[in-house]
Structure 1
Amino acid sequence: MYIGHRQIHSQINNKGLVILKKKMIGAVRGLDPQGRVVIPKGLREAIEVQKGDFLEVFTDGRRIVCRKHQPGCVFCGSISGVSDMHGVQVCRRCAKEMSRLGALKVPEAT
């Protein structure tokens, strides 16, 4: 396996999972005819994804990135005190800062 310009010794087990120092870091999977891919159980466990959870899927250059969705503040990433403001998740702290800058009027907490 190559990462950057350095060769990393790894092995691929009989299920197509890449093992590096006994830690699963990736997998090789084919797409089915509908374009779906199964995420191996070990990878799901590594990012604590369970049945019913949502995943974010997006591109980063020529890569497809898949990660567990966490409804956090779009500005700071906080998941505490987050509310929807015009379709965007914003925490109370960032909303207050935006209000202070005159960008947003924040209703008082009830």
Structure 2
Amino acid sequence: MKSTGIVRKLDELGRITLPIELRRNLDVKDRDPLEMFVDEDKIILKKYAPADIFTGEMDDLVEYKGKKVSKSTILQLAEIAGLQIS
């Protein structure tokens, strides 16, 4: 991880503003969803990209009951269940 040298304070609601330079470099637009991770004493923000809940694959996703599943996973699950897909 490299330091940007940028320091921001939290406002009274616990919010921070991401500087425009970071948003441009990381292609983060207004209202883009960000994922938050914690690694020991670090908070990590990552641009959210939906992925298959089983494999992490990001192509050909289908939503089922609020979860993302790739078509290739669906085919593999059908095969495991003994279903023939033509």
TM class by shorter chain equals 0.7 to 0.9
1:57 aligns with 2:36: yes
Q: How high is the TM-score relative to the length of structure 1?
A: 0.60
Greater Rg, structure 1 or structure 2? 1
Larger relative contact order (Cα-Cα within 8 Å, sequence gap ≥ 6): 2
Q: For structure 2, list consecutive stretches of 5 or more residues without a partner in the other structure.
A: none
Q: Which residue number in structure 2 is paired with residue 95 of structure 1? A: 74
Q: How high is the TM-score relative to the length of structure 2?
A: 0.74
Q: Whose strand fraction is larger, Structure 1's or Structure 2's?
A: 1
CA-based RMSD: 2.7
Q: For structure 1, list consecutive stretches of 5 or more residues without a partner in the other structure.
A: 11-16, 19-26
Residue in structure 2 matching 1:39, options 6, 18, 28: 18
| TM superposition outliers: structure 1 runs of 4+ over 4 Å | none
What is the aligned residue count? 84
Q: Whose helix fraction is larger, Structure 1's or Structure 2's?
A: 2
Tell me how far apart the structure 1 counterparts of residues 54 and 26 of structure 2 sit (CA, whole Å). 22
Q: Which residue number in structure 1 is paired with residue 59 of structure 2? A: 80
